[in-house]
Amino acid sequence: GAVVSQHPSRVICKSGTSVKIECRSLDFQATTMFWYRQFPKQSLMLMATSNEGSKATYEQGVEKDKFLINHASLTLSTLTVTSAHPEDSSFYICSARQGGPGEQYFGPGTRLTVT
Amino acid sequence: EDQVTQSPEALRLQEGESSSLNCSYTVSGLRGLFWYRQDPGKGPEFLFTLYSAGEEKEKERLKATLTKKESFLHITAPKPEDSATYLCAVQAGNSGYALNFGKGTSLLVTP
């Protein structure tokens, strides 16, 4: 149990275009989903927290107009990188929490390359 | 400010050579300390959550322990398939359940 999927696993896009990444909890309802970014040989950095049906909370330094997060249901959250630039190239990972202080489960990640 | 420091940064072991990874933390009101395993190009895989000092959890060759200042991940008789990056993360009482990660320990187990 507790499986989180992400789609796509890899995406290459041209500078200036937008990319949407989906995060789904497959076998549980996620009260909260989180989006992280990981640069090569670095740890995960939290970008934003999203709760179903409400606006996402962004970490300091993360542009909310550039990284649009929608959490439309208890099993789906999407991250849209708008007007992507090469510096946005990274590994984007989502996680989902069932409820309470328990475990968070991570998706397999999406490798974004902006050319 | 919450801080998580993992050591060593990298560790090379021979198969069967037991060792421990360290995670030191400072946090305002620890809600939980998490250990994850991450393979290259993949998302973190959940291993353990520890909630209070003195708590211990085991899974196969891994055992995690927690004190008020640090956590250890003990690896007993490791195998090459245990090679991965091990991440430690803390969840603070005022964090809204978000995780603050350390930089990880890259473990290589050679046959």
The residue with greater pLDDT, A27 or B5, is: B5
Tokens of B54: 């003195």
Cβ–Cβ < 8 Å for A56, A78: no
Q: Which residues of B touch A42 (CB under 8 A)?
A: 103
Over residues A30-40, mean pLDDT: 92
d(CA A19, CA A3): 23
Quick one: which of A28, A46, A42, A55 has its CA closest to A93? A46
What pLDDT score does A55 carry? 87
Distances (CA, A) of A92 to A53, A74, A83, A104, B65: 22, 20, 16, 16, 30
How many A-B residue pairs are in contact by the CB < 8 A criterion? 57
Position A1 scores a pLDDT of: 62
pLDDT band at A52 (very low <50, low <70, confident <90, very high): confident
Show pLDDT as tens, one digit a residue, over chain B (111 residues).
789 999 999 999 999 999 999 999 998 889 899 999 999 999 999 999 999 999 999 999 999 999 999 999 999 999 999 999 999 999 987 767 889 999 999 999 999
pLDDT of A101 strictly over 80: no
**Of residues B82, B59, B101, B69, the one with CA closest to residue B11:** B82
Residues of A with CB under 8 A from a CB of B: 2, 4, 6, 32, 34, 42-46, 49, 57, 91, 93, 95, 97, 101-109, 111
Other CB atoms within 10 Å distance of the CB of residue B70: 16
In the numeric block, which tokens belong to residue A85?
């630039």
* pLDDT on residue B107: 98
Is the pLDDT at A22 greater than 90? The verdict is: yes
Q: Are A106 and B44 in contact (CB under 8 A)?
A: yes
Token duo for residue A51: 């709760």
What mean pLDDT comes out for the span A12-20? 97
Do residues A74 and A30 lie in contact, with contact meaning Cβ atoms separated by under 8 Å?
yes
Mean pLDDT of A30-55: 90
Contacts 24+ apart (CB under 8 A), A60-67: A67/A35
Distance from CA of B46 to the nearest CA of A (A): 7
Q: Where are the beta strands (DSSP E) in chain B?
A: 3-7, 10-14, 19-26, 30-38, 45-50, 56-59, 62-66, 70-75, 84-92, 100-101, 105-110
User: What distance lies between CA A40 and its chain's CA centroid?
Assistant: 17
Residue A39: how many other CB atoms lie within 10 Å: 11
CB contact under 8 A, A46 and B46: no
